Amino acid sequence: MSLSFPAPEEIARLTARALLEIKAVDFNAAEPFTYASGLKGPTYVDCRRIISYPRVRATLMDFLAATVLRDAGFEAFTNIAGGETAGIPFGAMVAERLALPMTYVRKKPKGYGRNARIEGRMDESDRVLLVEDLTTDGGSKLSFVDAIRETGATCAHTAVIFYYGIFPETTQRLADHGVRLHHLCTWWDVLAEAKAQAAFDTATLTEVESFLSDPRAWQTANP
């Protein structure tokens, strides 16, 4: 394990730059994206693209490992769990960097055999870090955390590459469940880097900023 510890602001800037470079981020105000919730927005991020870019992948996984070591502690964890499905490769790469066992958590029991939600070995004494690609409002994390805790292990931290950072209730929702969120960058970091690069036209960037400032109002105005 050989990690450096850049300032969080530099990690955020470089992560945003990397996501833009590999086209994991798209802004489109003219034809907004439809999210899983059915609501629309002018922003889209696909962190799964990271796995196809070795230099970006290695850099961001170094950043994620360094972030949790700095923020949670060097001996805080004994097990790294990836959330099905996008969190599995990132969980494996963070576990490798921290020289820790890796497991993964299913969204629901597989329905046969042991009917398990946890794959791999997880012991009651384990202190587990849940790794995922991103979080919006934190809802999916709670189900994974509960599955981990049902084994008797503890899970008080989750780490993601991308945190939307536009729904103020997210961190409190996780905190109320006893979970602390660690992340590399947010939409605000991506917007700042997109402006610095002039990656999109001014009208699009203005509309994106309007959405990020009040997503619920923007969605009401753009059903």
Is 138 annotated as ligand-binding?
yes
Is 130 annotated as ligand-binding?
no
Element of type H or E holding 177: none
104 contacts 116 by C-beta, under 8 angstroms: no
User: How far apart are the C-alpha atoms of 153 and 137, rounded to whole Å?
Assistant: 24
Is 146 annotated as ligand-binding?
no
**The Cα angle at residue 19 between residues 213 and 16, in degrees rounded to 5:** 55
> Taking the mean position of all CA atoms in its chain, how far away is CA 63?
13
Is 141 annotated as ligand-binding?
no
97 contacts 125 by C-beta, under 8 angstroms: no
Is 137 annotated as ligand-binding?
yes
Is 132 annotated as ligand-binding?
yes
The 10 Å Cβ neighbour count of residue 221 is 10
Of 69, 63, 73, the residue nearest 93 (C-alpha): 63
Is 106 annotated as ligand-binding?
yes
User: How far apart are the C-alpha atoms of 145 and 97, rounded to whole Å?
Assistant: 22
Is 139 annotated as ligand-binding?
yes
What are the binding residues for 5-phospho-alpha-D-ribose 1-diphosphate? 106-107, 110, 132-140
What are the binding residues? 106-107, 110, 132-140
What are the binding residues for orotate? 136
